[in-house]
Structure 1
Amino acid sequence: MNLPAFFFVGLLVHFVFFASIFDIYFTSPLVHGMTPQHTQLQPPAKRLVLFVADGLRADVFYELDEHGNSRAPYLRDIIENRGSWGVSHTRVPTESRPGHVALIAGFYEDVSAVAKGWKENPVEFDSVFNESKYTWSWGSPDILPMFAKGASGDHIYTHCYSAEKEDFATQDASKLDTWVFDGVKDFFRSAQNNQTLLSKLNENKIVLFLHLLGLDTNGHAHRPSSREYKLNVKRVDEGVKEIVSILEDFYGNDGHTAFVFTSDHGMTDWGSHGAGHPSETLTPLVAWGAGVGYSQRTASQYFEDDFLKEWKLENWKRLDVNQADVAPLMASLIGIPFPLNSVGTLPLEYLNSSDLYKSECILTNAVQILEQFKVKMAQKKETTLSFLFTPFKLLSESRQLDILKRVRFFISQQKYDEAITLSKTLISLALEGLSYYHTYDRIFLGISVVLGFMGWTSYVILIIIKMHTNLTRAIQNTDQVSTTFFSYGFATAGVLIIIFLIIQTSPWMYYVYCLLPLPVWYAVVTEFKTIQDLLTFLSACPLGHSIGFFFLFAVGIEILVFSFFYRSTLTIALIAFAGWPLMHRWIQGMNGLKMITLSWTLLCSLLAIFPMMPVVGRESDITPVTGAGLLTLLLSFFSLVPFWNQKSKHIQGKYLTVLLLQMLNLTLSIYIVHSTHASLGQKMGLPLINQIVSWTTLAFSLVVPLLSPTRVFQRLLSIFVSLMSTYLLLSTGYEALFPLVLSCLMFVWINIEQETLQYSGNSFKQKLSSIDFSCSTDITQFRQLSVDDIRRSFFFVFFIVTAFFGTGNIASINSFDPASVYCFLTVFSPFVMGALMMWKILIPFVLVMCAFETVQITVQLSSKSLFLIVLVISDIMALHFFFLVKDYGSWLDIGTSISHYVIVMSMTIFLMLLSGLAQVLTTKKIKFWRRTKHHAT
């Protein structure tokens, strides 16, 4: 297989492996066709008001300020005297869309829905709003429309401000909340003179939804500990008080209005969310009004987070819920059908109603979840061969009927406690059954993917041995009989698998997962001659050498895997790397330590500091950004000194001009960062000229290096300076120093690898300064692979992992912190902001990849052979993480385990793509047309 074909097939295979995780773990939990369930008894409330303070942390809301006063005195008074309170626990990802879906629709939307659409619904779903008689909502254009789209009938009315108002650089984002409160006030004033609207507002089963985005915006812009954020909490409290007063006046204090105040997610100390830190997953919940019980005084209560004493609320009973539980609570308060796909359990302790109403509501809750279970089971039964179908044994049809009959009997006998307990048991079993059928195909798909993984990795190893080593015989005759046998055998297996999947009416991606291992393993078994040669070689090697090699290789892989859980692992490994040249054989022939060895040791030690630092984003500090920029300028200047007195065509003239312009642009980037943060600090917004310069720098960062000469040193310097200009614009603190140290270490690595080549006795050794990228082709003819090349490939993967986790971790990468992109835009735009932050993450990748391209040239080895080893290492890591994926435990553990796999698979795919980008950056050159000189005759 030629290189382009192999690259294409490899990319395709890895995309399949990447997609598999979404079909196995991120599939939509929704089913359709259920019958709506609601309680026939009279509900305690006629109307419901839902306040969602976007991005409000539980601790900031509940705790007292430095003077011992509450930041939300009105809601605090409700907690202590006339309402119920607790903590609503969210799930990962802690983003706005999944949070609101859980609150209003009662189910936890799969993670992929965030990527499919921020405002549009990837799948239509039922909600409390849809089941209401009428719903009026005010707030963000990112949230409100998704609950109106797909609703049955025309009964959900939205009032949204323009997206441009969601600006992180505004003087005070609490104006977003003020807009909502003013809109509600104007709405009720206008209703007095509008008989149609007045009539609708006096109907039963209506909902008012106030989405308050100011706290989220202020938290991103100024951090949750800021004065702006805390004052916004007070503004929200005042607004809630005003709205309650208006409603009481409007309805004449009829006592039929229920109120719920909560948040969709919290926020980290540095103003981000998206991961599973407690500051993101703990949100406040306060309910009061019609149908809601008063806070109960208690002598003692215990919670693992131990916040009660800090909040001074240890004497008021705290009622914690899961976020999806809020939807059935709201449905019960106004007597509407439970959302069809809700998986929440009604928190009965919040209800202040008769025991009969409570037991009827919890039974309705159980039947509604049981309906989903039945539909899910029927769907799975229809798509599975009868002799292969294994039902959920804990909830058979007879068991369902028995529980329902017993609950009805207990209610008729007024044994409400027994009825409630049994209903909760039914809910628990139904939810367990839903999970069982939702993950029914998981083992089957997992085995298919693992077989594909193992086959692909084995094939790549065989290709390496066959094409790039001396382990195999020069001429291998193909056994036609064996090849024909394998062909018919795998073809038959493929036909049987297709028939099996057709009978089961499986989704089309199942065909891909199940059939992919066949061609991969066919390619493996047809290389049986290579396998024989490998086994012969291993049997001839000393057993101790073989065990030692595989042990070191396994330890290296485990170090890489362990670093995903503990960043400090990278620090330990880098300290060990610092002494590597001292132990290498070629250092023994030197008279003392060379400067290059000292540089390697120093730079490894400096780089080892970064994984020990707090993750980026806790506090903005422009001083390190300035320092990184000035150091880069200094290094760039000194790197040009040797060329000033040379008459080199490669550095003089326009190429020198290009490098000087890059240094000027770097200086400009330093100024833009200072100017932008100063302007935002004064709440004057993002200056237009700064925005234009930032986008221009980004646009030309990949083009300008192509104007420089293709000699190794000049081109690498140009790439580094150009990307560093962009990285500074995306930096908020010490991380700006990271690519500087990393790039210096990469340059030293290139030099050291050339020294190891010289020691190996290779007759071809070209000076680094004279190597030209444009003249380097695939130079397999120079030599075959050696054990040292496995070490080089491992170093590359290690530096890639270091580039990824050097300044962050899984939580910081999953979290949304827009402070990094303020030089480019401040108006909320999730996809543009996400793309910019992704490019920031990829810049160190590009620097390492360019260094690896240079290493391949300096050691005179085929780029294909080294990259194949890298592919094997990364695929073994990916398979490792595939086995570590969890579907149990805390949602932080589940989300993190899935993130590990997704990141490694993304890294593998990105490495393939970045390899092409690095080759373009290092080898391509833009040549401007120039006029031909005419000489006099």
Structure 2
Amino acid sequence: MKAGRSSWPTGLLVLGTLFHAIYVLSIFDIYFKSPVVHNIPTVEVLHASYPPPAKRLVIFIADGCRADKFFEANDSFAVFAHSRLTEANLSSLIPSRYTDEPTRAPFLRHVIKDWGSWGVSHTGVPTESRPGHVAMFAGMYEDVSAVTRGWHENPVDFDSIFNQSTHSWLYGSPDIVPMFAKNVEHAHEKHYSSSEEDFAKDGSALDTWVYFKVKSLIDEARNNRTLYDRLHSNQVLFFFHFLGIDTNGHAHRPHSREYIANVALVDRLVEGIHNMLEDFFKDDKTAYIFSADHGMSHQGSHGDGAPSNTRTPLVVWGAGIQPPTKATVDDKFQFDVPSHSHDQVFAQLHAHKIQEAAALKDWHLSSFVRKDVLQADIAPLAAALLGLPYPRNSVGVLPFSYLQQGLYRARAVAFNAQALFLHAKMKQTEKQEATWPIFFRPFPRLDEVPSLLATVERSFGAKAYGEIEALSQQIIRDALAGLRHFQRYDWLLLMSIIALGYVGWMLVLYVAVAQWPFSVTSLFVHRGQVDRPAILTIVVGFVAMYLYNHSATPMYYLYLVFPLVFWRYLIRESHLLVSQSHLGFGVIILVAISVELIVFGYSTRSVFSALCLVVGIYPNLVAIYNTGTARLWLGGCILLAIFPVVPVDYGDDLTLVLAGGAIWLLLGFIIWWQCYPMIHGISLLFILASFGSLVGTMQALSQPGTNPAFWIYLNWVLACGSFASLAWTPSQSYQYRLIQIMLAVSPFFFLLCISYEMFFYAIFCLTLLLWIRLEGSSTSKPAHQSGVNAEDVRLALWYLIFFKLSFFATGNIASMSSFEISSTFRFVTVFDPFVMGALLVFKILLPMVIVTCAFHVLLTLRGHQPNRLFLLVVLLSDILALHFFFLVKDEGSWKEIGNSISIFGIVNIKMVFIPLLLLVAKMGFRQVPPPVFHLD
């Protein structure tokens, strides 16, 4: 039977790509708009009658330091960790009174027990370095538009504690330090070269670099009067950024000796710098904050909202800090979180029950009151200690239990409330000026705040400090609620527009599949003329949007134009929606159940195992397939069903990688032997060479002092060379070309594997080949009537399941951080987030490319307008996208928030990738002659 070649749906696929690329951004306008408001007045705590407790503040940030790895009391690696200090020649250089204590951070544990206050800082999402530092120093969660601004530059213009200081000294990473010193004349920064951020080297050297720079600064000040006077000024800030923990976490994971030893090293460096500064200033006017920007997952990555990433240590001591408070109970943690952040902090703790149980057992700190904070709360704490104005746009709530009780603390709390109120009022004014009066919706509780502020001011006369702090938290509650109201002001409007856009797009796709071939110009052209009512509808819609919101961004109008165009077309062609349907009610119910199971599978990977089994069993229950092929198909699906139940944090296992690669090499050799000369053997040589290159790379990376550059270059040559080999290995049939593609891309995938992924790849490829053979053995041939039938839906649904399985079999939707960053070290060791991210994306996409190529071959061999079924896949995927759109959260635990954003984003990004993958698939087969017969 001849396979008909249908028109390529270029117009619809381009429109769909544009539609999803724009609509994926909608959640940021709905839930996560830029928090920056301009022209907010500053509120300064400093006053002659209540001077700040500290003249200077030292902030230590241990990049990538997990709370549990820092606070754990019993350290099995203590001896090893402290021996690393000796190797670095720091034991004699930094004398310590705590070397005999069997803990990895003896100095800072001493601080917790004898000098200061402590707790867990709960970070926001994404758990990346830049957003974490912005939260700690600016008190705001970074403007979402910053994702398009690059890694090294200031993401947006925002105020920070460094801007408000008299002088600041910042030492550390080139990715972080320059960001806060840029355009700040009184900020003095030094950073090492980005080439030093090499995962193949000892990351702790980056931390000792900071220590020696601080030592040089103090030594210079003893002989430089100008520098000496600057250091002794009021409102001086020091920021010391330690990157070694993060580097070793990525390279060796947080359970490794290298990571633990780096925690011990940072503790000793903090002690050394503390002693150095105390000896230099000798005035007891120095305050210290130790924390981290984010944690580190078991896989050695970060980015998502997993507790291992969002829980970081916080230790504060020195001038003005409340000394340790003994707990009244010892069988659980006693918390002191009197600020408005209480509810959010305890929401995180409630979601971290397992981590809290382990903390109570392992930290041995339940004797001391714990004061947890949200990460953005650190900024107002730093400002209050120095009497600085709170950073503009800060939403941080002062954790005043860290400060010593009295007039100054009460004033600091009251000014925190006043600053947040001014922020909310400015936000209200901004929105009111952009909205016609009849449409404006005020926030009444803000009108009550001035009277509360007056009550607070009267209470100072009575020295009712406790009442002042309580009233201030009420003001903060109303101010933050007002900010949230105006931040989500356009929520209902945008939700309605986006929902109508998705539903309209899905109905247009249904019409396109049913009325194939379909031209996208029919959306704008009717009976040979431009559809004037459609143009009028868009104009009226734009005018209405402008009247509702004068300051609406261009994105608002882009969101609006899609539903206007789609629904104008659907109303005009409403008869097409029902005239071509060949689907029974039972099929629709089965599709709905299948889609809901896929939705459930995004949070529970094992659901895809059940779907695999259902797909494998089906051909054995109907009598239209070859029995032997159906049984082999069931076996392949059973093997595939194993992978979604394997933990994603399995860890590195080179033996598994080599074993999986050996199986794939053996299968490739058998296929080549059976199919020669239809299959070229050059890909097998590339796979074989990759074995030696991978082993050499891993040996070089595991041996300190060994340069892996040769092996890294060889990996690039092998991976890219195998891809390039496709250009000179043309095949005579679609199925042989598919096998050649599977073999050619496998060296790249193999070199990015860290455990069982190669087993999955081998079984996945074999199962896809069996799928083509299975459909070729079917006695039920494609129907030639127009419309959508049950077979079309089944094929599209099976492709969608395998497409999702290609991701979930080895990863987790929480974020790409579930895919191990250590796999990228085979191609790059110097820190480069874009190259590493691109390699991870490429690793994720390769199985998706394979399943898309297989589906393309299947539909081409099946004949009868194969391209339209890709539109049916897009339609089913859009049902998922709309479902997840309504599941996006901006409340709850950081893990829930981060996962909901990731799911919606990844579903839409995959929708953008599907047409691109289809284009890649067609390019891969462009030199293959048209098939004449179905595969049998």
- Matched residue SS, 2:241: strand
Does the CA-based 8 Å contact 1:180-1:211 persist in structure 2?
yes
Q: Which residue of 2 aligns with 1:931?
A: none
- Of 107, 113, 135, which aligns to 2:140? 107
The amino acid that maps onto 1:625 is: V
- Of 654, 662, 678, which aligns to 1:630? 662
Which deviations, in whole Å up to 9, do the C-alpha atoms of 1:308-330 show, x marking residues without a partner?
34211111111111111111111
How far apart are the structure 2 equivalents of 1:722 and 1:439?
49
- Of 43, 58, 61, which aligns to 1:37? 43
Q: Which residue of 1 aligns with 2:337?
A: none
1:52 aligns with 2:56: no
- Of 369, 378, 385, which aligns to 2:420? 369
Which deviations, in whole Å up to 9, do the C-alpha atoms of 1:597-619 show, x marking residues without a partner?
23211111111111000105x42
Which deviations, in whole Å up to 9, do the C-alpha atoms of 1:4-40 show, x marking residues without a partner?
2223222222222223233223321111101111112
Q: Which residue of 2 aligns with 1:664?
A: 685
How far apart are the structure 2 equivalents of 1:167 and 1:115?
25
The amino acid that maps onto 2:471 is: L
- Matched residue SS, 1:260: strand
Q: Report the CA distance between 1:830 and its aligned residue.
A: 0.3
Whichever of the two has the greater Rg, that structure is 1
- Of 245, 250, 257, which aligns to 1:215? 245
Equivalent pairs, count: 866
1:719 aligns with 2:741: yes
Does the CA-based 8 Å contact 1:121-1:146 persist in structure 2?
yes
Q: Report the CA distance between 1:733 and its aligned residue.
A: 0.7
- Matched residue SS, 1:259: strand
- Of 552, 561, 564, which aligns to 1:515? 561
Does the CA-based 8 Å contact 1:686-1:826 persist in structure 2?
no
Does the CA-based 8 Å contact 2:686-2:722 persist in structure 1?
no
How far apart are the structure 2 equivalents of 1:42 and 1:460?
67
Q: Which residue of 2 aligns with 1:292?
A: 321
Q: Report the CA distance between 1:54 and its aligned residue.
A: 0.5
Q: Which residue of 2 aligns with 1:525?
A: 571
Q: Report the CA distance between 1:401 and its aligned residue.
A: 1.2
After TM superposition, the structure 1 = structure 2 runs for residues 679-698 of structure 1, keeping only pairs within 5 Å, are 679-698=700-719
Does the CA-based 8 Å contact 1:93-1:111 persist in structure 2?
no
Q: Which residue of 1 aligns with 2:152?
A: 119
Q: Which residue of 2 aligns with 1:395?
A: 446
Return closer, same or farther for 1:660/1:689 CA change in 2, 3 Å cut-off. farther
Q: Which residue of 2 aligns with 1:500?
A: 544
Q: Report the CA distance between 1:815 and its aligned residue.
A: 5.3
Q: TM-score w.r.t. structure 2 length?
A: 0.89
Q: Report the CA distance between 1:703 and its aligned residue.
A: 2.8
How far apart are the structure 1 equivalents of 2:199 and 2:810?
24
- Of 433, 439, 452, which aligns to 2:488? 439
Does the CA-based 8 Å contact 1:782-1:861 persist in structure 2?
no
The amino acid that maps onto 2:440 is: F
- Of 157, 180, 205, which aligns to 1:147? 180
The amino acid that maps onto 1:671 is: G
How far apart are the structure 1 equivalents of 2:771 and 2:781?
19
How far apart are the structure 1 equivalents of 2:817 and 2:593?
28
How far apart are the structure 1 equivalents of 2:827 and 2:284?
50
Q: Which residue of 2 aligns with 1:449?
A: 498
Q: Which residue of 1 aligns with 2:909?
A: 906
Q: Which residue of 2 aligns with 1:750?
A: 772
The amino acid that maps onto 2:543 is: I
Q: Which residue of 2 aligns with 1:933?
A: none
Which deviations, in whole Å up to 9, do the C-alpha atoms of 1:654-713 show, x marking residues without a partner?
xx6xx3221111111121211111111122455222111222233334432232233223
Q: Which runs of 5+ in 2 are unaligned?
A: 1-6, 77-100, 335-348, 930-936
Does the CA-based 8 Å contact 1:487-1:522 persist in structure 2?
no
How far apart are the structure 1 equivalents of 2:264 and 2:483?
42
Does the CA-based 8 Å contact 1:793-1:869 persist in structure 2?
yes
- Matched residue SS, 2:753: coil
After TM superposition, the structure 1 = structure 2 runs for residues 404-803 of structure 1, keeping only pairs within 5 Å, are 404-467=453-516, 487=531, 489-503=533-547, 504-505=549-550, 506-531=552-577, 533-534=579-580, 546-587=584-625, 593-594=627-628, 596-616=629-649, 618-644=650-676, 651=678, 659-710=680-731, 711-756=733-778, 759-760=779-780, 786-803=789-806
How far apart are the structure 1 equivalents of 2:423 and 2:504?
39
Which deviations, in whole Å up to 9, do the C-alpha atoms of 1:451-479 show, x marking residues without a partner?
1111111111112222279xxxxxxxx9x
How far apart are the structure 1 equivalents of 2:717 and 2:724?
11
How far apart are the structure 2 equivalents of 1:177 and 1:380?
46
How far apart are the structure 2 equivalents of 1:482 and 1:261?
67
Q: Which residue of 2 aligns with 1:224?
A: 254
How far apart are the structure 1 equivalents of 2:722 and 2:568?
44
How far apart are the structure 1 equivalents of 2:37 and 2:161?
17
How far apart are the structure 2 equivalents of 1:481 and 1:796?
33
Q: Which moved more, 1:142-151 or 1:851-860?
A: 142-151
How far apart are the structure 2 equivalents of 1:127 and 1:87?
22
Does the CA-based 8 Å contact 2:814-2:903 persist in structure 1?
no
Does the CA-based 8 Å contact 2:53-2:320 persist in structure 1?
yes
Which deviations, in whole Å up to 9, do the C-alpha atoms of 1:606-637 show, x marking residues without a partner?
11111000105x42101121112211221121
- Of 892, 896, 899, which aligns to 2:899? 896
- Matched residue SS, 1:916: helix
1:342 aligns with 2:394: yes
- Of 295, 317, 320, which aligns to 1:266? 295
How far apart are the structure 2 equivalents of 1:394 and 1:488?
47
Does the CA-based 8 Å contact 1:308-1:314 persist in structure 2?
yes
Q: Which residue of 1 aligns with 2:21?
A: 15
Q: Which residue of 1 aligns with 2:841?
A: 838
Q: Which residue of 1 aligns with 2:922?
A: 919
The amino acid that maps onto 2:623 is: R
Q: Report the CA distance between 1:496 and its aligned residue.
A: 2.5
The amino acid that maps onto 2:537 is: A
Q: Which residue of 1 aligns with 2:193?
A: 162
Q: Which residue of 2 aligns with 1:243?
A: 273
How far apart are the structure 2 equivalents of 1:111 and 1:491?
33
- Of 199, 206, 209, which aligns to 1:176? 206
- Matched residue SS, 1:828: coil
How far apart are the structure 2 equivalents of 1:492 and 1:223?
59
Q: Which residue of 1 aligns with 2:811?
A: 808
Q: Which moved more, 1:731-740 or 1:705-714?
A: 705-714
Q: Report the CA distance between 1:148 and its aligned residue.
A: 1.5
Return closer, same or farther for 1:547/1:203 CA change in 2, 3 Å cut-off. same
Return closer, same or farther for 1:2/1:916 CA change in 2, 3 Å cut-off. closer
Q: Report the CA distance between 1:515 and its aligned residue.
A: 2.2
After TM superposition, the structure 1 = structure 2 runs for residues 54-133 of structure 1, keeping only pairs within 5 Å, are 54-66=63-75, 69-133=102-166
Does the CA-based 8 Å contact 2:815-2:902 persist in structure 1?
no
How far apart are the structure 2 equivalents of 1:76 and 1:467?
70
How far apart are the structure 2 equivalents of 1:434 and 1:200?
38
How far apart are the structure 2 equivalents of 1:310 and 1:555?
45
The amino acid that maps onto 2:134 is: V
Q: TM-score w.r.t. structure 1 length?
A: 0.89
- Matched residue SS, 2:239: strand
Q: Which residue of 1 aligns with 2:344?
A: none
Does the CA-based 8 Å contact 1:71-1:230 persist in structure 2?
yes
Q: Which runs of 5+ in 1 are unaligned?
A: 470-477, 539-544, 645-649, 763-779, 927-937
Q: Which residue of 2 aligns with 1:848?
A: 851
Task: Tell me the C-alpha RMSD between the 2 structures.
Answer: 2.4
Does the CA-based 8 Å contact 1:97-1:114 persist in structure 2?
no
How far apart are the structure 2 equivalents of 1:837 and 1:675?
21
Q: Report the CA distance between 1:793 and its aligned residue.
A: 0.7
Q: Report the CA distance between 1:490 and its aligned residue.
A: 4.2
Q: Report the CA distance between 1:160 and its aligned residue.
A: 0.1
How far apart are the structure 2 equivalents of 1:577 and 1:490?
43
Q: Report the CA distance between 1:783 and its aligned residue.
A: 8.4
Q: Which residue of 2 aligns with 1:474?
A: none
